[in-house]
Chain A
């Protein structure tokens, strides 16, 4: 693989890399295209033995059959889980990230090391005790069983610390000289400065929670508490050849989140980048 950058390199190479990029674009967008077009194909086209690149007899039948299931409820569940996790994470992580970045307190280094280590820990490892904990506090098979562990995940604290470190100490000092209390300093000085960071964290948490299939699979057992992605996975297990219905579900589960991503792309990029700086 050639690892030069493009600037000033030969024209031939520029054309070559553009062609490769376009081919890759087709390859990367194809699954999405296939989900959307597949969701409008009728049974015959779905089961056809030759490729049907575009639905000839477009039908919304798959969506109608999807809504014979409680699909709206599943949609509500996933939106609720993602939104609640997002709000709680932003609240707790921005406070904690600021403290970690700007306060010199006893136990700071140890705490930060623990947070870094915990970020590498796969959720799957702790899920058995986690499920028991949820049962103990009577929250098993409820939406909160997915929300609470998501909020506990320390990535948000780490990200907000990275953002809060850019606040100049002089500004905090000045606020203190003016006699502003800790909370007032946070709300009037710190909050406006880490707003882009909170935006990044919000969108990040929302998308990641939406797509956290594993936690939903383990925590949510009754059909009324399923989320849309979980329901699609489960339907796929039950009726593995009804691809029309499954594609309709996949489209419904992914299009909202893709739209959210495209709208807030800028925040997303800054969130990803900030996580790496000084990481």
Chain B
């Protein structure tokens, strides 16, 4: 069928154009058709379960949609509500705090660990790599429930060791978010370390040697030669850590549910909370759309800053 179609489509220009263009065009069409056949199974899932829901989500964000289904078109009401909503303001600031604290610490820390281990013996290196990756693999639920126990006011090991009996770390406004950030940190540095170890191993050694011959110090060699070469890796780490921090969900759902008094509320958690506890689906979708936009802006900014550097 493919050949029949290309032959029919190509019959007209054949007279004007040289034979070579004709064959290359036929080839290009065949290539396009076969490419889409290869893409078909994947596109089916991608379009059905990512792209279509995304459009529906944008549509719902402009409707009034509660338990009984869509009640009507709401225009920009949901978005206007968002700008006046103190919970959203709190969630926005908390999300910003998590990102601004977690992303630089994760990046700097993983760079330090990677540079400390990348020249070690292969066995030691993969041991340390494993250690830092294990909290990622163990899974957010298992890690979260054990932290809940560690931080428990009476049965928790932290209070027992610190001698602060009865202190509720997760129930206190000033400490809850810092523990969320700490646990997020332990589950985030595994991947950046693996990436930095690989990147340090790929640094062009002839440049490093040349600089050392010229009397460059270790610190100079690092910042002037290795750091610029690792820039793509750093950029990738910044982007994935940012996305990761925005998406932190299990921690909040299982430890604090956004409390106490919204002190650990994030935009992400508000989407869930608005949809499934408050059943305000139109509004939840609007928050979701804004969250997606914020993540897009953050990622674009990071790309821009890294490119101009």
Contact = CB atoms under 8 A, between A and B. Distances in A.
Contacts of B142: 35, 229, 232, 250-251, 253-254
A153 to B, nearest CB: 7
Contacts of B200: 5
B283 to A, nearest CB: 11
A277 B199 CA distance: 9
Contact of B137 (A51, A213, A258): A258
A241 B141 contact: no
A92 B302 CA distance: 31
A98 interface: yes
Contacts, number: 300
A152 B285 CA distance: 20
B169 interface: no
Nearest to B257: A237
Q: Report, as a range, how many residues of chain B touch the other chain.
A: 35 or more
B211 interface: no
Interface in A228-243: 229-230, 232-233, 236, 240-241, 243
Which of B35, B112, B157 is the most central at the interface, judged by chain A CB atoms within 10 Å of its CB? B35
Interface string B35-73: 111110111111111111110110010000000000000
A125 B291 contact: yes
Contact of B146 (A27, A38, A95, A268): A38
Given A31-B143, A96-B39, A257-B137, A6 B115 contact: yes
A132 B52 CA distance: 12
A211 B140 CA distance: 6
Which of B129, B131, B147 is the most central at the interface, judged by chain A CB atoms within 10 Å of its CB? B131
Interface string A104-136: 111110010011011011111111111011000
Given A1-B112, A148-B49, A21 B249 contact: no
A120 to B, nearest CB: 5
A91 B41 contact: yes
Contacts of A186: 38
Given A3-B222, A129-B57, A214-B249, A254 B138 contact: yes
B134 interface: yes
Contacts of B32: 103, 105-107
A257 B135 CA distance: 11
A159 to B, nearest CB: 12
B126 interface: yes
A210 interface: yes
Interface in A243-279: 243, 246-247, 250-251, 253-254, 257-258, 261-262, 265, 268-269, 272-273, 275-279
Interface in A171-225: 182, 186, 207, 210-211, 213-214, 217-218
Given A25-B128, A262-B130, A103 B57 contact: no
A62 to B, nearest CB: 13
B288 interface: yes
B38 A99 contact: yes
A21 B116 CA distance: 9
B57 A152 contact: no
Given A21-B117, A125-B57, A95 B41 contact: yes
Given A126-B50, A232-B141, 13 more contacts: A4-B219, A7-B119, A20-B116, A25-B131, A95-B38, A105-B31, A120-B239, A128-B284, A130-B53, A233-B144, A240-B148, A253-B141, A258-B134
28 contacts: A28-B186, A29-B131, A34-B149, A35-B138, A47-B154, A95-B39, A96-B39, A100-B39, A103-B38, A122-B243, A124-B271, A126-B56, A126-B57, A126-B288, A127-B53, A128-B281, A128-B284, A129-B56, A129-B60, A152-B49, A213-B140, A232-B141, A233-B250, A258-B138, A262-B130, A265-B130, A272-B195, A276-B198
